[in-house]
A = this chain, B = another copy of it.
């Protein structure tokens, strides 16, 4: 068990090789310009300099971990893990269009290379591959289980998309309460983490009560993940984080620290913050620095971490109540510590 804050714990890394191999094998079965875009996004380029599978592959790893944590062979759930990671990746390609992001995991985003219109196709293609992977890689002796997984994953994917709809609505509205924000994140980010644990449990054949608890843990992990992500978007190190630090502020996003600050009692700092953040026109570099400083003075830097810590505590309470192997509970606790302190 590698327990390095900022580094991925072995809980996650131990499945990476199998996931990467299966994904590369599956994604590279098809040719042509659509699949060239998809392969680029996934990191499976042609030639010796191919970067290899991109991203932390948290979701499929959590899925396999959950299955194994209930004592079943995690390889049985590999088709669902591949399918889930592809759903996540389709959403990233479309997110980059919707957020005008040109940098993804330290490389040009698909829309930066091929334009937004073709990036729509790339995302659509990845979504279809996710469905096909689940059918084509699955054990054909249990079609009922595969269909059950398909319905589960599709339901969470739809939930994620509805969260993305709400997120885009937020940029048009000045008043976003903490409740609005958490409701949006529960769909946009938590949906696929709930899917990870739910699907892992499904392949392990756990009972309905356990599924409910797994979904709750997934939700809390999602909150911790997203709240930390928002924190890193303001106070992260560009090189480590990979995404553009400060662009959330530039775009005046209602990220967690901003929503937190807007909920503070009124005062000089809050007024100043609102004056700059809700002004017209682009924010200058100096204004972004000023906004970041004001957020700190409003307690948003620590407050954001505190909230993440509270959700993690709730996850641990649910974890204590389920019948998972002891090693798995220990591993999941280490994973939580990583989520709370990650730098990228």
Q: Interface of A with B (CB < 8 Å)?
A: 30, 32-35, 37, 90, 94, 97-98, 117-118, 120-121, 123-125, 127-129, 131-132, 135-136, 138, 140, 143-144, 146-147, 150-151, 154-155, 157-158, 161-162, 164-166, 168-169
A180 to chain B, nearest CB (A): 13
**Across the interface, do B143 and A128 meet the contact criterion of CB distance under 8 Å?**
no
Q: Which residue of B lies closest to A133 (CB)?
A: B154
**Across the interface, do B121 and A168 meet the contact criterion of CB distance under 8 Å?**
yes
**Across the interface, do A129 and B147 meet the contact criterion of CB distance under 8 Å?**
no
**Across the interface, do B125 and A33 meet the contact criterion of CB distance under 8 Å?**
no
Within the assembled complex, what's the spacing in Å between the Cα atoms of A169 and B123? 17
**Across the interface, do B158 and A125 meet the contact criterion of CB distance under 8 Å?**
yes
Contact (A161, B117) CB under 8 Å given A135-B147, A144-B143, A147-B146: no
Contact (A34, B161) CB under 8 Å given A135-B150, A150-B135, A168-B121: yes
For the residues of A in contact with B, the DSSP-based class is helix
Q: Which residue of B lies closest to A162 (CB)?
A: B34
A128 to chain B, nearest CB (A): 4
Q: Which residue of B lies closest to A87 (CB)?
A: B128
Per a CB cutoff under 8 Å, which of B135, B150, B161 touches A124?
B161
Within the assembled complex, what's the spacing in Å between the Cα atoms of A237 and B98? 36
**Across the interface, do A162 and B125 meet the contact criterion of CB distance under 8 Å?**
yes
**Across the interface, do A33 and B162 meet the contact criterion of CB distance under 8 Å?**
yes
**Across the interface, do B151 and A33 meet the contact criterion of CB distance under 8 Å?**
no
Within the assembled complex, what's the spacing in Å between the Cα atoms of A155 and B121? 15
Contact (A132, B154) CB under 8 Å given A118-B165, A124-B161: yes
A83 to chain B, nearest CB (A): 11
- Give chain B residues whose Cβ lies under 8 Å from the Cβ of A123: 120, 124
A102 to chain B, nearest CB (A): 16
Per a CB cutoff under 8 Å, which of B37, B135, B151 touches A132?
B151
**Across the interface, do A136 and B151 meet the contact criterion of CB distance under 8 Å?**
yes
**Across the interface, do B125 and A98 meet the contact criterion of CB distance under 8 Å?**
no
**Across the interface, do A121 and B33 meet the contact criterion of CB distance under 8 Å?**
no
- Give chain B residues whose Cβ lies under 8 Å from the Cβ of A32: 162, 165
